[in-house]
Structure 1
Amino acid sequence: GSCQYCSPGTYISSTGAASCSKCKAGTFAPGRGSRNCRPCSAGSFSNAGSSRCTQCSLGYYAPSSGSSRCMKCPYGSIATNAQRTKCYKFGECYFANKNFVSTSVSRTKSSKPCQSWTVRYCSWHTLKRTCHVPNPTAKASQSTGNTCRTFTEQGGSNKPWCYTKTSTRWELCNIPLCGPRLRECYNKGTKNFVSGIAVTRSGKPCQGWEIKSCPSGTVGKTCHVPNTALKLARLIGNTCRITTASSEKRPWCYTRTSRRWETCNIPQC
């Protein structure tokens, strides 16, 4: 009799074979008459006998090619990149047009160390070499620490960046944009939660948690002194949070407006 082509999802292992073989899980054969099966690319998977691979769902990832299944991201992280090849902790991906303060990244995309945001003056022999005076927006933000961040007031690309401790004045950081369907959420009853969002539910910008006193004329207007428990907690950054130092059970922050504090638009998981 005449020979027949193997159907999609199967292949012929050798000339003259009596039957076609199914592609193994993690591989695929897209068309008829395949002589071999191709491995699925990282971020996707396939079952045995597949003619195509399927991208991992949001929150699942496949770090290498040839995967037969996707793995669930660890608690507190999610796969946000389009390829679904790795997971990022909440707060280590940023949302467009929202203030963001990284909790751990203090190097630029080319590994230059970040300069502290509290620098207000550089000595003559360090200026432009290892020290850079922040622009008015960065100064007015009352930011502390040296982790990468964004300022919605600044305009432009709004990507996380920092001043560097090298001759390069500033540089972007290697922090991904959160996926379009990604939404942070907090677990009911949690005592510690740190968001990547630094704006309240009504759009008010969050004040830094490190503030111990307010400049004259700003108290109750654009600056609020944290209560004693929050001072002792030594919190950093300005993103919404739940903390044991406060009785509020939803993510919140002090604001840089006349309203002392407000909850944030982050849903319960």
Structure 2
Amino acid sequence: MLQPPLPAGRFWMLSVMGTTGFVLLWSIAALSGIAPRTFLPTPWDVLQRLIELTHHPFAGNTLQNHLLSSLGRFLLGFALAVAVGIPLGLLMAWFRAIDKIVAPVFEAVRFVAPIAWVPFAALWFGTGIGGPVLIIFMGALPPVLINTYRGAKFVDRKYIEASNMLGAGAWRGITEVMLPAAVPSIVSGLRISAGLGWQSLVGAELIVASSGVGYLMVKGQAGLSTATVMSGMIAIGVVGSIIDVMLRRMQQAIEARRGL
């Protein structure tokens, strides 16, 4: 049985308690001497390093510039996944022949982890922008396509039949019947896609990039600077959370408008 949502005040109180408890445990572990401070810095050491990275370049750029580089790659790969996944999902749902042609190839490719494309990305694109974009695309495409396909496939058949009886062609049937009905499912897929794309980006930058947060973390690891690595991890988590919140707000607005 589903529990009722928590009041906003209690929700934030529990969130603060959870964060405080995590930081406290981290501080105790760092100060206990379990590991040298070089390998397990305290939270304030990481915070100090995070602030330093915003003012002093590391691995060629400040933290903000590394983040901008990462975001540029992410947006390009994510936009490409959306531009391919939504139209292809709708076409597969409308045309049975396209579904039969694409489905076997897609079903095989979507189970290949995005990080498995790194060797090909490195061989084909080197450290240029193409490699990370390819990896982001491969990580972000499946959720968009699958949710678009499912959302369009489960449109009530009477609406499809009515559009056909009124003489609407495939183009109008797809754009005016299937697409509006599939929007909630598509937006839900975008949230999953964005998360996987952002994770795929960081994995790609660890190997096939010369800038970005992943690259910063690699250089921090090479210099035995755990605080730098953890600062990069915090930046990744914060930006990823912001992206998810934006998409969640868009999803809630669409659902409220449609009375869902």
TM range (shorter): under 0.3
Based on CA coordinates, which of the two structures has the bigger radius of gyration? 1
Give the TM-score of the pair, scaled to structure 1: 0.20
The structure with the largest strand share of the pair is 1
Which of the pair has the greater relative contact order for Cα pairs under 8 Å at 6+ separation? 2
TM-score where L is the length of structure 2: 0.20
Report the structure, 1 or 2, having the larger helix content: 2
